[in-house]
Amino acid sequence: MNQLPEARRFIKEPGHADTNVGLKVNFIPHHNPDLVFFNQHGEEMERLDLGRYSTQQIHDLLVSKGFKRKEAKKYRGEIRTCSG
């Protein structure tokens, strides 16, 4: 994942993957970072290689797929997210 700094940033740094409602990150060391969409029966419907996207493109992709971001709120100089 170190060879894919944009995908790594989205997955591991606060303020990115953790701010998307309904997005679950299953980090598997030494595996390609894929975004996998499942239907209501748990069947895989689509798989996208996140290594080809910038951090902002990943955010935009999730919005295009209907994901909503949590609002960031400030507390004593820190940014924290709330599930709203």
Domains of the chain (ranges, CATH numbers): 5-81 (3.40.30.50)
Residues 5-64 pLDDT 10s: 999 999 999 999 999 999 998 888 888 899 999 999 999 999 999 999 999 999 999 999
Which has the closest alpha carbon to 23: 63, 79, 71, 57?
A: 63
Q: Decide: helix, strand or coil at residue 61.
A: helix
- What phi and psi, each to the nearest 5 degrees, are found at residue 51? -65, -20
pTM: 0.76
Q: How far apart are CA 20 and CA 78, in angstroms?
A: 19
3 CB-near residues (< 8 Å, 6+ apart): none
